[in-house]
Copies of this chain bind each other. A is one copy, B any other.
Amino acid sequence: MNISQAAKATGLPAKTLRYYEEIGLVSPERRPNGYRDYSETTVHTLRFLARARALGFGIEDCRSLLALWADKSRASANVRRIAQDHLSEIERKIAALTDMRATLQHLVNTCAGDDRPECPILQGLAQPQCGAEDTSALRK
């Protein structure tokens, strides 16, 4: 299977398939002409990766999950730990975004949004007591 067919089969862009090979997540065969040749097994792995990424797992988590998936004598506790940590991270992000939304929503609601210059949004940004102070939860 060519790269563009594998892309279609997995829903991932061809660029991403090359990238996943570069960082060692998958290892498709090569044809004599140098073209990548994706087997059903490799496509299966790619679909696993696509779903893990869709759930927000980082690449390194994906690498760990793939290793556990391949390890028939794994302990499910190890899988669960990764998922639970990631879930906590997601909850932290949701909390941070929810705080932002509350503050922004309030500012937007109180702004006339017409052709006059008075603007509670700018006032809120210029004053100290405007709400959220820390975005670190979103960056990490």
Contacts and interface: CB of A to CB of B under 8 A. Distances in A.
A48 to B, nearest CB: 5
Interface residues of A, number: 62
A133 interface: yes
A130 B100 CA distance: 29
Interface in A10-59: 11, 44, 47-48, 51-56
Q: Which of A51, A68, A71, A116 has the most CB of B within 10 A?
A: A51
Interface string A44-81: 10011001111110000000010011011111110111
State the copy count for this chain: 2
B76 A104 contact: no
B119 A79 contact: yes
B72 A111 contact: no
Contacts of A98: 94
25 contacts: A47-B128, A48-B126, A54-B100, A54-B135, A55-B130, A55-B131, A56-B100, A56-B104, A56-B138, A65-B122, A68-B119, A73-B117, A75-B114, A75-B115, A76-B116, A77-B113, A77-B114, A77-B115, A79-B111, A80-B108, A80-B121, A83-B107, A87-B101, A87-B108, A94-B97
